[in-house]
């Protein structure tokens, strides 16, 4: 019988030591909504499971308009949704976190776990990419910052080296007339996994309704979540009219590289990238224009 | 509820709280996996990772050496069965196929096919042991669709399979060809002004019961065995397990647990014989439960199919001819419901010329099992959408064309004999006159569709006993499991006959040693046949109670009448009439306890019809369909407990909508099932369905004492076609493939849009 040692470090130091000592044989446990399934299915067979939910840095949300957001990697999604600052300043990331599974799942699942699982279909990752989030990683050799769009390498694989732990996300404070949004397509209305996910963050110059800053993240349409750089860049300095949006949608489709699988064909996914990009830009713009009221 | 009466009934037609309700909502009810016994071992099954492979060898030494492993069995431990149809209990079945499905014999025929089973002291050790079993496979090319299976030179699944047409020397994947014929279709089509012909494909789908299969086998040193399991038929489990194990039926007792859904999928055996075999080898009780992945890979599903349907009608909408060709995936062994598909596809209509050909085809997919009106939903998807096209051509309302052509008493069935009293037209009229159909549907990309369906229903055998207790309460004992309100309905029938309060009746589901033979809960038969037995058993009590009253009053039994719950002499002369409650304490003094008994082999079953109306809204950018509103009208004969009748109508409709929109088995190009969980096998959630509306139509079945008609199945037949018709009326595309998932529907919408643009360009 395969036995697993369960560790519950109380500090970052302790956690990193444990992870470094056991290398590939250890796997961090946040909410467990991916890991437990992988253990049962036998697709991962770690000897050590390191529960990181008792480490203070990983389980807190801190926000200020001066310093922006620090979101602990193991904060359960439900706490994000229940946090007034999150809802107000990062509605796109909040709605992405609130789309994952049921309330029960959201009470366990975390944004950090969502990213570290390395699935291209993770709902919160395109939203993080749109916000320009940086991942703070701590390991035996010190710490480093990784932009979220560079975090995943392949399905199930990330930049994390043995012994390294994702601690938190750092996201700049939102400017005036800046807002984000996230939309995903699923065949059902809930309890499903993204066939396509698109996150967008826009900053507008309200004097002439031009785009000052734009970032678009794509999910489930490539081996990793994608930052649609060309599509994002194409919007900057433009008025957000139908032509600009269509052009960005076209460039987002070009940035995607989906495959055929049971959740949808590549052809279908490309089409839906265009549809959702148009819809999510409209939604983010709407929010940005109304951001004075927040 | 004592005072209320509906149509002369006092209890029937009311909605009392179900007797098993408290146990079920408090978690006390015991399902198969809830049982445990001292010394119990845990069994697990090793399954084939190949869809089609010869099994060269199975080595178990390393697994047996693992501490805690107590026994390992393979097909070599089961007796070899003759490769022919044989009686097993009440059904004819190829026992060789049944046995080889439980443990593969020489060949693995689908991804997930059981290869070996382990018993160990914990489920984790059993799992570990599975990894240590070494199986040498010789992979063979998989045959995944009926088209591939029918191709000349296709790989052969079962070397011994033959069919009459191709003869005794020809290896084949076609297990059977059935044909049904009336009139002359060629002549018929000549009379038609409009002929529509379409080809349809429907995906393999699973019943989707929430509770996975389970069994605990306890083999005793005296050669007797007990099986605890969740099943739709304890007597079927007994018969099939005995046959597979080479035991006589009487050596096995089956104790049915509460059942967490079946829908036809729990009418056969998978784990039950294995648990007994492992118990026999180890001397311990052995518990086996499946994971969701095992359920999806290796149990149930119902057939995917290819169906061609051609229908011809005159200008005024009279259908003059219909020709259908159906080929159903049987799975790794013969036995798809294609025969039922063939007999239901045209059944709702009076068509003078018909020709229906049906093929049962083996493919490298799990052996199919019954699923709610097996074979009929696929068939109706074809015929009911073709009929919608014809109605449009004729300029007729889709309900009117059905009323014009609809079957009624005297219409010949596909198999020949005419229908007796049926309520098809009444279901059409109920929808037509209902608020839903009369309401206006407005808004872009919205459409309304209707479709109808037919299911035979069956009678078969049931037994019941009714015991009168000394305090005047009553126990009803049956052999049918409670799958959708059975206890409540059976208790209500007894309460009605005996003139007692429903809360004074306690229904019990007995094991196979404690009740007479009772056939499987299937074919919508339970309320019809077991209800009939309960009715007769209660009447038997009344006869006996009359004798006792006569004794007390020194009269002849025929001088006692029972009316409105009271026994009284025909001539009163000062005697005080008595209720059952007053009689009960006097039984000891008048001859002892009273047990009413009855058995039935129920004949004269009433077929079921239903008509469904669905409103949808399609997102033309993503191809996603929302169900806005859905109503079903169904002829139920007589609703005993209307809430559970409505539950059956809603349940079937929900499953039918799932089948229509997203459910499908997804195999990759190597023949491996990819969606082995309920995340990617997409059944509708409660957020995907509106409140499903029901219109109960009551056309009593002649001959049945209460007019009951089976209600469990027909509700799943119309929905896929109704949704397809609604989608057409919403966005103008005729879908011919199930499921009508967003990618498929979007493709059709874009194709239509492109064709429109080409036309427009040509016009410029």
Q: B3: pLDDT confidence band, cut at 50, 70 and 90?
A: very low
What are the φ/ψ torsions at residue A213 (nearest 5 degrees)? -145, 140
Closest-CA distance, B626 to chain A, in angstroms, reads: 9
Q: Which residues of B touch A271 (CB under 8 A)?
A: 746, 750
CA B414/CA B346 separation, integer angstroms? 7
Residue B251 has pLDDT above 70, yes or no: yes
Tokens 């732990």 correspond to A165
Partner-chain contact B687 A188, CB within 8 Å = yes
Averaged pLDDT for residues A13-22: 96
DSSP B576: P
Lateral strand order in the sheet of B41-47: B69-74, B114-120, B41-47, B286-289, B214-219, B225-229, B252-256
The overall average pLDDT reported for chain A is 95
Regarding the domain delimited by B420-451+606-751, which CATH topology (the fold level of the hierarchy) does it fall under? Aldehyde Oxidoreductase; domain 4 (3.30.365)
Please say whether the beta carbons of A181 and A287 come within 8 A.
yes
Beta strands in A56-172 (DSSP E): 61-64, 68-72, 134-139, 142-147, 152-154, 157-158, 165-171
Cis ω for the linkage preceding B74 (within 30 of 0): no
| End-to-end CA, chain A | 56
* Mutual angle of helices A266-289 and A242-255, in 10-degree steps: 140
**Stronger pLDDT, B461 or B4, i.e. the higher one:** B461
Is the model's pLDDT at B758 over the cut of 90?
A: no
Q: What are phi and psi of B742, to 5 degrees?
A: -50, -45
Cβ–Cβ gap A185/B666 under 8 Å: no
Across the interface, whether the CB atoms of A189 and B687 are under 8 A apart is answered yes
* Cross-chain residue pair A185–B679, CB shorter than 8 Å: no
Taking only Cα atoms into account, the Rg of chain A, rounded to an integer number of angstroms, comes to 19
pLDDT tens-digit map of B398-427: 999 999 999 999 999 988 899 999 999 999
B741/A272 Cβ within 8 A = no
Mean pLDDT of B553-580: 91
| A→B interface, C-beta within 8 Å | 1-2, 41, 185, 187-193, 195, 261-265, 267-268, 271-272, 275
Strands B692-697 and B624-635: parallel
Q: How far apart are CA A64 and CA B756, in angstroms?
A: 55
Mean pLDDT over A242-251 rounds to 97
Helix (H) or strand (E) holding B55: strand B53-59
What is the rounded average pLDDT of the residues B529-551? 97
Which CATH number applies to B21-29+459-602?
3.30.365.10
Q: Classify residue B9 by its DSSP letter.
A: B
Cβ–Cβ under 8 Å, residues A220 and A194 = yes
Residue of chain B minimizing CA distance to A267: B743
* DSSP per-residue string spanning B490-548: HHHHHHHHHT--GGGEEEEE--TTSS-----S-TT-IIIIIHHHHHHHHHHHHHHHHHH
Residue A172 has pLDDT above 90, yes or no: yes
Nearest CA to CA, how far is B687 from chain A (Å)?
6
CB contact under 8 A, A271 and B661: no
Mean pLDDT across A265-286: 97
Residue B574 is predicted with a pLDDT of 81
Mean residue pLDDT across chain B: 96
What b/e sequence results for B348-384 when a residue is b if at least 16 CB atoms lie within 10 Å of its CB, and e otherwise?
bbbbbbbbbbbbbbbbbbbbbbbbbbbbbbbbbbbbb
Residues of A in contact with B661 (CB under 8 A): 187
User: Is the distance from CB of B527 to CB of B484 less than 8 angstroms?
Assistant: no
- Nearest CB among B128, B621, B743 relative to A275 is that of B621
Domain ranges of chain B: 21-29+459-602, 420-451+606-751
CA distance A202 to A288: 7
Q: Which of the 8 DSSP states describes residue B153?
A: T
Tokens of B424: 């098809």
Going along chain A from its start, the domains and CATH numbers come out as 5-51 (3.30.43.10), 56-171 (3.30.465.10), 178-293 (3.30.390.50)
B621 vs A contacts (CB less than 8 Å): 275
- Chain A nearest-CA distance from B43, in A, is 15
pLDDT value at residue B557: 93
Phi-psi region of B499 (alpha: psi -120 to 50; beta: other; left: phi over 0): left
Q: Tell me the backbone φ, ψ of residue B357, rounded to 5 degrees.
A: -115, 135
**pLDDT tens digits, one per residue of B318-331:** 999 999 999 999 99
Whole-number pLDDT of residue A1:
66
- Give the residue from A36, A39, A189 with the most B CB atoms within 10 Å of its CB, the best one to mutate: A189
How many Cβ atoms sit within 10 Å of the Cβ of residue B418?
11
Nearest by CB: B682 against A187, A267, A275 = A187
Give φ, ψ of B30 to 5 degrees. Answer: -100, 115
Alpha carbons A151 and A159: distance in angstroms, whole number: 5
pLDDT at B5: 47
Which tens digit of pLDDT belongs to each residue from A177-196?
999 999 999 999 988 999 99
Contact A193 B679 (CB under 8 A): yes
Judge whether B21-29+459-602 and B420-451+606-751 match in fold: yes
Name the closest residue on chain A to residue B623, using Cα atoms. Answer: A187
Residues of chain A contacting B743 with CB distance shorter than 8 Å: 264-265, 268
pLDDT band per the 50, 70, 90 thresholds, residue A209: confident
Residue B397 has pLDDT above 50, yes or no: yes
What is the model's pLDDT at position B235?
Answer: 97
pLDDT for position B7: 67
Residue B480, pLDDT score = 98
Show which residues on chain B lie within 8 Å of chain A, measured between beta carbons.
Answer: 68, 122, 124-125, 128, 293, 621-624, 626, 661-662, 666, 674-675, 679-680, 682, 684-685, 687-688, 741-743, 746-747, 750
Angular region, B482: left φ>0, alpha ψ -120 to 50, beta rest = beta
Contact B685, A101 (CB under 8 A): no
B259: buried, middle or exposed (CB in 10 Å: 19+, 13-18, 0-12)?
buried
Q: Select from B479, B467, B476, B487 the least CA-distant residue to B22.
A: B487
Query: What is the predicted pLDDT for the residue at B89?
Result: 63
Chain A residues touching B746 at Cβ < 8 A: 268, 271
DSSP code per residue over B680-697 = TS----GGGS-PEEEEEE
Helix (H), strand (E) at residue A251: helix A242-255
User: What pLDDT does B645 receive?
Assistant: 98
Q: How many residues does chain A have?
A: 294
Residue A293 pLDDT > 80: no
| Sheet architecture: strand order including B134-139 | B107-108, B53-59, B134-139
CB-nearest to A272 from B293, B622, B674 is B622
Instruction: Report pLDDT digits (tens) over B47-106.
Output: 999 999 999 999 999 999 999 999 999 999 999 998 888 777 666 889 999 999 999 999
Whether B488 shows a pLDDT value over 90: the answer reads: yes
Please state, in angstroms and rounded to a whole number, the distance separating the CA atoms of residues A250 and A267: 14
d(CA B339, CA B13): 35
Mean pLDDT of B542-559: 95
The CA distance from B249 to A7, in Å, is 53
Distance of alpha carbon B381 from alpha carbon B81, whole angstroms: 38
In which element (H, E) is residue A49 found? Answer: strand A48-51
Q: Are B492 and B502 in contact (CB under 8 A)?
A: yes
**Cβ of A261 and B674 within 8 Å?**
yes
**Predicted confidence band of residue A292 (pLDDT cuts 50, 70, 90):** confident
- The model's pLDDT over A61-111, given as tens digits with 9 standing for 90+, comes to 999 999 999 999 999 999 999 999 999 999 999 999 999 999 999 999 999
Q: Which residues pair with B462 in a beta bridge?
A: B600
Res A42: pLDDT: 85
Interatomic CA distance for residues B303 and A182, integer angstroms: 39
pLDDT mean over B467-483:
97
Q: Residue B144's pLDDT band (boundaries 50, 70, 90)?
A: very high
- Lowest mean pLDDT across A179-183, B49-53, B572-576, B730-734: B572-576
């Amino acid at each position: 019988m395969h036995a697993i040692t369960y560790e519950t470090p109380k500090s970052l130091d302790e956690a990193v030591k444990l992870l470094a000592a056991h290398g590939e044989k250890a796997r961090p446990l946040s909410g467990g909504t991916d890991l437990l399934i992988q253990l049962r299915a036998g697709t991962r067979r770690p000897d050590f499971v390191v529960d990181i939910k008792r480490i203070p840095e990983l389980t807190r949300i801190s926000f200020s308009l001066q310093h922006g957001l620090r979101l602990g990697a193991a904060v359960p999604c439900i706490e994000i949704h229940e946090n007034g600052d999150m809802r107000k300043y990062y509605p796109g990331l909040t709605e992405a976190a609130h789309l994952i599974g049921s309330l029960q799942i959201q009470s366990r699942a975390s944004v950090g776990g969502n990213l570290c699982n390395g699935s291209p279909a993770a709902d919160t990752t395109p939203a993080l990419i749109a916000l320009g989030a940086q991942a703070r990683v701590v390991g035996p050799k010190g710490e480093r910052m990784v932009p979220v769009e560079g975090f995943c390498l392949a399905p199930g694989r990330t930049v994390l080296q043995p012994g390294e732990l994702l601690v938190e996300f750092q996201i700049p404070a939102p400017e005036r007339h800046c807002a984000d949004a996230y939309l995903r397509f699923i065949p059902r209305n809930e309890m499903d996994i993204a066939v396509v996910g698109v996150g967008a963050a826009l900053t507008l110059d309200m004097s002439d309704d031009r785009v000052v800053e734009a970032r678009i993240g794509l999910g489930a349409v490539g081996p990793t979540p994608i930052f649609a750089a060309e599509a994002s860049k194409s919007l900057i300095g433009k008025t957000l009219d139908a032509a600009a949006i269509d052009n960005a949608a076209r460039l987002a489709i070009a940035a995607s590289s989906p495959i055929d699988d049971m959740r949808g064909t590549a052809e279908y996914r490309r089409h839906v990238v265009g549809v959702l990009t148009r819809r999510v830009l409209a939604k983010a713009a709407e929010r940005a224009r109304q951001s004075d009221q927040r | 509820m004592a005072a209320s009466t509906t149509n002369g009934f006092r209890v029937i037609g009311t909605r009392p709280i179900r007797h098993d309700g408290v146990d079920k909502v408090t978690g006390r009810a015991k399902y198969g996996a809830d049982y445990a016994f001292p010394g119990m071992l845990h069994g697990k099954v090793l399954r084939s990772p190949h869809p089609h492979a010869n099994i060269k060898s199975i080595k178990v030494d390393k697994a047996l050496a693992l501490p805690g492993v107590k026994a390992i069995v393979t097909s070599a431990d089961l007796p070899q069965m003759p490769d022919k149809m044989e009686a097993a209990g009440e059904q004819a079945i190829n026992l060789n196929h049944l046995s080889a499905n439980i443990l593969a014999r020489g060949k693995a025929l689908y991804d997930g096919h059981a290869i070996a089973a382990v018993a160990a002291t914990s489920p984790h050790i059993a799992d570990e042991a599975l990894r240590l079993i070494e199986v040498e496979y010789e992979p063979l090319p998989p045959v995944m669709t009926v088209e591939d299976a029918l191709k000349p030179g296709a790989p052969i699944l079962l070397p011994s399979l033959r069919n009459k047409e191709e003869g005794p020397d020809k290896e084949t994947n076609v297990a059977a060809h059935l044909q049904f014929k009336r009139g002359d279709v060629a002549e018929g089509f000549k009379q038609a002004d409009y002929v529509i012909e379409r080809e349809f494909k429907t995906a393999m789908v699973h019943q989707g019961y929430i509770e996975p299969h389970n069994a605990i086998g306890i083999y005793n040193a005296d050669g007797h065995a007990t099986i605890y399991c969740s099943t739709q038929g304890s007597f079927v489990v007994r018969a099939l397990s005995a046959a597979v194990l080479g035991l006589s039926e009487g050596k096995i007792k089956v104790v049915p647990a509460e059942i967490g859904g079946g829908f036809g999928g729990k009418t056969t055996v998978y784990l039950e014989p294995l648990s007994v075999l492992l118990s026999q080898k180890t001397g311990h009780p052995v518990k086996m439960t499946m994971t969701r992945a095992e359920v999806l890979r290796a149990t149930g599903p119902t057939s995917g199919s290819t169906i061609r349907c051609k229908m011809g009608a005159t200008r005024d909408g009279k259908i003059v001819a219909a020709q259908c060709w159906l080929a159903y995936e049987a799975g790794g062994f013969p036995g798809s419901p294609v025969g039922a598909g063939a007999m239901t596809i045209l059944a709702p209509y009076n068509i003078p010329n018909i020709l229906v050909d049906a093929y049962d085809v083996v493919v490298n997919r799990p052996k199919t099992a019954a699923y709610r009106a097996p074979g009929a939903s696929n068939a109706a998807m074809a015929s009911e959408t073709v009929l919608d096209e014809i109605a449009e051509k004729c300029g007729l309302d889709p309900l009117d064309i059905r009323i014009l052509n609809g079957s009624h008493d005297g219409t010949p069935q596909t198999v020949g004999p005419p229908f007796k009293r049926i309520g098809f037209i009444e279901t059409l009229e109920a929808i037509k006159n209902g608020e839903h159909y009369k309401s206006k549907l407005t808004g872009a990309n919205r459409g309304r569709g209707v479709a109808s369906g037919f299911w035979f229903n069956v009678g078969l055998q049931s037994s019941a006993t009714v015991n009168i207790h000394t305090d005047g309460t009553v126990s009803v004992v049956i052999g049918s499991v409670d799958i959708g309100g059975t206890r409540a309905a059976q208790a209500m029938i007894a309460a009605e006959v005996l003139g007692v309060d429903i809360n004074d009746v306690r229904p019990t589901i007995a094991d196979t040693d404690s009740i007479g033979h009772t056939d499987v809960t299937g074919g919508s038969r339970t309320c019809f046949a077991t209800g009939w037995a309960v009715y007769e058993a209660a009447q038997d009590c009344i006869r006996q109670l009359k004798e006792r009253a006569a004794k007390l009053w020194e009269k002849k039994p025929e001088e006692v009448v029972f009316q409105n719950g009271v026994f009284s002499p025909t001539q009163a002369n000062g005697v005080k009439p008595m209720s059952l409650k007053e009689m009960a304490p006097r039984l000891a003094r008048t001859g002892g306890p009273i047990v009413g008994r009855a058995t039935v082999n129920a004949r004269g079953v009433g077929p079921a019809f239903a008509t469904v109306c669905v409103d949808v809204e399609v997102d033309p950018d993503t191809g996603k369909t929302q169900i806005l509103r859905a109503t079903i009208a169904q002829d139920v004969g007589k609703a005993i407990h209307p809430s559970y009748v409505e539950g059956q109508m809603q349940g079937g409709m929900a499953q039918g909508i799932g089948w229509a929109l997203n459910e499908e088995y997804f195999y990759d190009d190597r023949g491996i099932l990819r969606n082995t969980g309920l995340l990617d096998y997409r059944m509708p959630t409660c957020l995907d369905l509106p409140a499903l509306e029901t219109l109960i139509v009551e056309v009593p079945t002649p001959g049945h004492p209460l007019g009951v008609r089976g209600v469990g199945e027909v509700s799943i037949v119309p929905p896929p076609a109704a949704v397809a018709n609604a989608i057409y009326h919403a966005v103008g595309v005729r879908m011919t493939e199930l499921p009508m998932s967003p990618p498929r529907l979007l493709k059709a919408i874009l194709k239509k849009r492109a064709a429109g643009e080409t036309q427009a360009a040509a016009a410029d």
